[in-house]
Every structure is written in structure tokens, then in C-alpha cells.
Amino acid sequence: MSDPATEPGTETSPPRGAAVLEQMGGISGLIYSSLPVLVFVPVSSAFGLMPAIGAALAVATVVLAWRLLRRESVQPAVSGFIGVGVSALIAYLVGASKGYFLLGIWTSLFWAVVFAVSVVIRRPLVGYIWGWVSTHDRRWRGIRRAVRAFDAATLVWVAVFTSRFVVQHHLYDADQTGWLGVARIAMGWPLTAVAALVTYLAIRAAQRALHEHDAAETTEASEASEISEASEAAASETDDSAQKPN
């Protein structure tokens, strides 16, 4: 079975696939991103907003230092730290612990809209991401089955981002900071894992469609070549017969 990031019969491109995984932070990144929230909510309930902000920033700093010491990818480590910092700043400006979750809430809405629009205009974002991973392969755009597969995967991500926004925005309006923390974690990596599985299956379906399309084109080209050769042979025999003396 070939790698989802490559076409059957072609070489895998480990550097590009590995780079994408590193940029996403991998499984460890999902775990690390939950730690500041796990600290922020109970500290906020027990001691108030400012101690909670300090605790979240302290945990984010420890996570950043730990990842750098382990020489993991710098980009997800730094972006995670910045995300915690921005969330803490928003909470401070809002003057309420629930403000810590505003960045994630509105970011979910943003990505839900982006992914949904990509399906509406028949340019499913999952397909383009896969195309970038597989060395800018965009042949899938001309194959309806592949487009439908990427449409389905993109819509799953729309559902993930939309559900996060709807649930967490409701909890924010209801001043349920504790449940906001629970929702952030529960709707984080579990939903991401489901969407990733659907994306994997969509990529496999698109690859099969591409492979079958290429096979059909090869067969048609071969048949056309055979017909052309047969026609040329028949024409040659006709010419030879016409040139023979009676």
C-alpha cells in the first residue's frame, strides 16, 4: 500500500511529508497545547484571573523550553507559546477568565468559513493541501471522483470547526469558564483524530481514482496506437498491391 501523500508507482517524498507533520506539531503538539488550559481553569477558579494567566504562561514557557531542548520543530513550539500569550492578553483585556478562550473560538469560525467556501467554489482545501504535500500534484482537479472525495473530507473539517465554535461560543455567553476548558480539550484532539482519519480515507479514494484514470488513459492510448499501426499497415499493403504489375 502506498503512502497517502504519493501516487501509486511513484516515489515517496519523506522530506515534504515530514515537514508538514512537524509544522502541525504532531501528536505531542496536541498534548502540549492542552496543558496551559488544564492549568488555567482550576487556578482561575481557585485564585482568580491574574494567577491563572501567570500559571498558563509559566506552563507554556516550560513546554517551549522542553521542546527546544529536545530539538523538536521550532515553529509549532513558538507558535504554541505565542497562542497562549495572545489568549492570556485577551483574557487580561476582557477582564474575565473566559476571555482566554476567545482566540480559539473565533479562529474556529474563521477556518469553518474558509473550508466551507473552498467546497462551494469547487476547490476543496483538503485537496490543495494534499497536492502541496505530494509535490504540487493538481491532476485531481480534473477527476470528479477525486474532487468528491476531497469535498467530503473538507466538509468533515467544516463540521469540526463549526461544532467547536457553536459549543464554545454558547459556553462563553453562559459564563461557563470551567466547561469551556472541558470543551476545548474534549473537542480538540479527539475531533482532530476523527477528521484526520476521514481525510486519510479521502486521500486513498482520490489516489484510486487517479490511478484508474491514468490506467484508462494508458489503455486508450495503446488502443489508438494499435489502430493507427493497423491502418498504416493496411495502407502499405494496398500501395504494394497497386504497384505490382498485372
> If residue 194 lies in a helix (H) or strand (E), which one and from where to where?
helix 189-243
Under 8 Å CB-to-CB from 98, ≥6 apart: which residues? 91, 172, 175, 176, 177, 180
pLDDT given at position 79: 85
pLDDT given at position 119: 96
CB under 8 A, 24+ apart: contacts of 124-129: 124/150, 124/151, 124/153, 124/154, 125/154, 125/157, 126/150, 126/153, 126/154, 126/157, 126/199, 126/202, 127/154, 127/206
pTM > 0.85? no
pLDDT given at position 27: 63
pLDDT given at position 14: 43
Other beta carbons within 10 angstroms of residue 59's beta carbon come to 19
Q: Which residues of the chain have pLDDT under 70?
A: 1-30, 135-137, 216-246
DSSP state of 233: H
Q: For 41-50, write each residue's pLDDT tens digit.
A: 999 999 999 9
pLDDT given at position 2: 43
